[in-house]
Structure 1
C-alpha cells in the first residue's frame, strides 16, 4: 500500500472535517424546524381552542369537542382571495359610491403644492367640457394624498364649496387614506442614482395611484387616469367612446395624451392587476415607466396613441419641490366635438401632408385634424359627400391654439355638384364660389336661401402664397330638415 504524501493526507482530512460539519448543521436545522412546528401547533391550539370555552371572562379549554384527526383544508379562490379589491381603509371626505356602474371613472391623485395649485381648474375643466348626457356617464374620483390629513380636509372643503351641485348629483367622490396603510418610504433603493427625496416622492406617488386605482376597480366599465393640472378638450368623453368602439377589445392601455400619466385609459377588468403591479414595484422606478411595462406584460405589443390629444398639461410647477415644469402636448386639440350633422363623406387634397395628419382626419368623426405644408395658390382641400345634400349652415375652422399662425391666410370656399372621379380621386365637375375665409374662419347661415339645389362637394381653394403651414380643425355642416 502506497504511503500518502502529507499534502494528500491534509486534503483528505479537510474533506472529512467538512462532511462532518455539514451533517451536524443539517441535523441541527431539522431539529429546530421540527421543534418550531410542534410549538406552532401548540400555540394554535392555545389560541384557537379556548375561544369556544369563553365563560365569565375566563378562558377554558372545551374538552368535550374532540379535535378531528384530519382537519379539512380551507378553500382558496384565486379570483376572490388574490384579485378582488385590496381591503384598504379609505376615508370618504365627500360623496359616496354610486349604486350603479358608470361608463367611465376618472381618477386624479393630488397633493397641495408649495406654489401654484391647479386641482380646482382641472375639476372645472372636466365638468365644463362635458354636456349633461356625458356627465351622467362619468364619475370623478379625487384621491387627496397629502402627508398631513388636515391639509386634505381643507382641500375637500374647498372642493365642496365650489362643486356642491356636482357632488349632490353624484358626479364626484373625494377620498383619502392614512399613511399608516402605506409601505415604508424610508431607506429605499436609489435606483438610477436618484436623490433620496426623489426616490421617496416617486415611490409614494406609485402607492397613491395604486390606492386610487384599487378604489375605482368596480365603479365603471373604463378608467381614465389624469393628473391634477390638466385641461380637457370639449367633448372628450364622446371622442374616447368613439375610439374604444373602433378597436378590438383586447387592448390594455390607450393613451389620449403624450405626456406623463395624463389620459391613460384602462378597462376595469385590469385594474386590480394594475394596482398590485404598482405596489409590487413601487420603489423601483417612476410610475409612467411602470405603466409602460404593464401593457407590455399584458401582451399589448405597441403603444396605442390617439391623435389628437384630448388633454393638455396646464401647470407650470411640479408637485415635487415646485420644480419648473411647463411641458405642453403639441397634439392637443381644444374641441373634438362635431357641432353639425355627421354625414358620410370622403376628403381629398393636393396639399403636402405633414406626417399622419391626412385629410381623412377631418372627414372621420372625432379622428383629429389636417396639417399640411408648402402650399401654393391653386391648392385645394375637398369634401365629397356620399349623397347629394341640401345644407342650411356651414362652419369651417382653421388654425389652432398651439400653432396660431397655421390658419388659412387667403382662400375661399366652393360648392360643387355633378360628382365624378378623375384618376381614382373623387371630385365634382362644376364648382361655384361661395365666399372667402376671414382670419382662417368661414361661416354661412341660411345657405338654402342662397343655393336652392343640393350639393355634392365642398372645396377650400388656396389663393395666396403662404409660408406658414395649414391646420384644418373642423368642417361642420347642418342639413336642412
Structure 2
C-alpha cells in the first residue's frame, strides 16, 4: 500500500478466489466519477468483507500504518474501524456486486478476514407512500407512476437545480436497498444527468415532507442501486422519505422510470 500511494488516484483491494464481472473497471470508473465531489473513505463494490473495496490513494500510507499497528487483528474489522476513524459512519456499498467469491468458503475460515455471503434480494417491496414533486408532468404521466411498480414512468421537462421528486412513506420503514432508474428503458436517453438520492426522517406539514435529509449517493449515469445501512445495527431509526434531487440545469427532457425499495424482512 505504501508503494502504491503515489501510482494512481484510487486503490482497489481484491483477494484471490474472486471472480470479476465483465466491464467491472468501466463500472467502477463511472461510480468514482459520480462520487468525486462527495466525502468518502471506502467505496464497496461487493458484499465480500475483503475484496471490492476502493480507497483514495492519498489514504494508503495512513491505512498501511494502521494495519501494521494492529497486526494479528482480523483484517476486515480493521478496515471497518479505519472507515469509522475517518468519519464515514456507515458503509457505502453499491449494487450489484462486481466481485463474487469462487471455490469453497471453508478454505477461508481460518484466514485473517471473515467471509460474508452475498445477500440475495427478491422483488422490491415499495411500501405504501405518496409522491410529491415540483416538476411538470407530461404525456398524462403522474409523479406516482415513478414509484408504482410496473411499466409506468414519470415524464417531465427542463428540470433545474433544486427540483425534486420525493416519496413520502405512509409509515416509517427499515429500508435495506434502493434502486432508482431514470432515462428511457430502451437506450437510456433523457436520464437525469446530475442528481442524487437523499433519505429523510421526521415528516411533517401538509403536504407531508421530511425535515431532515442525509445523502445516500449520487446518480451514476442517471441510476443508483445501493444498499442502505444504519449507524447502529439495532437502531430503531427508520426512514420516511426518499428524495431524488436534481443538481444541474442543462437538460431538456427527463424520464424518471422507477424508484424501487426493499425493506428488512421479518
TM-score (norm 2): 0.49
**Greater helix fraction, Structure 1 or Structure 2:** 1
Q: Which one has the largest radius of gyration?
A: 1
Which has the higher relative contact order, 1 or 2, with Cα contacts under 8 A spaced 6 or more apart? Answer: 2
